[in-house]
């Protein structure tokens, strides 16, 4: 689910965990992505350009829940 704080953005990074999340495929279950908590804690970052490759090039790993393919 896209967030109004980040209009037009699909990928959101968590600077604390160095994970990247796909807002179009967010896992909202109880143990899911918890994007709202990441934003509230001030740990959210976006990427320019807004592509998964850019997040990976900055050292972010895929969230196992919304992107799969995590290397951790």
Question: Using one digit for the tens of pLDDT, what is the confidence trace for 23-56?
Answer: 999 999 988 999 999 999 999 999 999 999 999 9
The model carries a pTM of 0.92
Placement of tokens 């709202």 in the chain: 36
pLDDT of residue 39: 97
Nearest to 20 by CA among 71, 67, 2, 5: 67
Per-residue model confidence (pLDDT) at position 36:
94
Q: Tell me what pLDDT residue 71 has.
A: 75
Between 27 and 2, where is the model more confident?
A: 27
CA distances from 48 to 35, 56, 57 (A): 19, 12, 11
- CA 52/CA 33 separation, integer angstroms: 16
Going by C-alpha positions, the residue among 8, 25, 9, 6 that lies closest to residue 67 is 25
């Amino acid at each position: 689910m896209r967030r109004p704080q980040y209009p037009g953005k699909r990928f959101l990074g968590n600077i604390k965990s160095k994970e990247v999340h796909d807002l179009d495929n967010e896992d909202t279950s109880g143990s899911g992505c918890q994007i709202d908590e990441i934003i509230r804690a001030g740990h959210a970052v976006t990427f320019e350009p807004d592509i998964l490759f850019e997040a990976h090039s900055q050292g972010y790993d895929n969230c196992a829940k919304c992107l799969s393919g995590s290397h951790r």
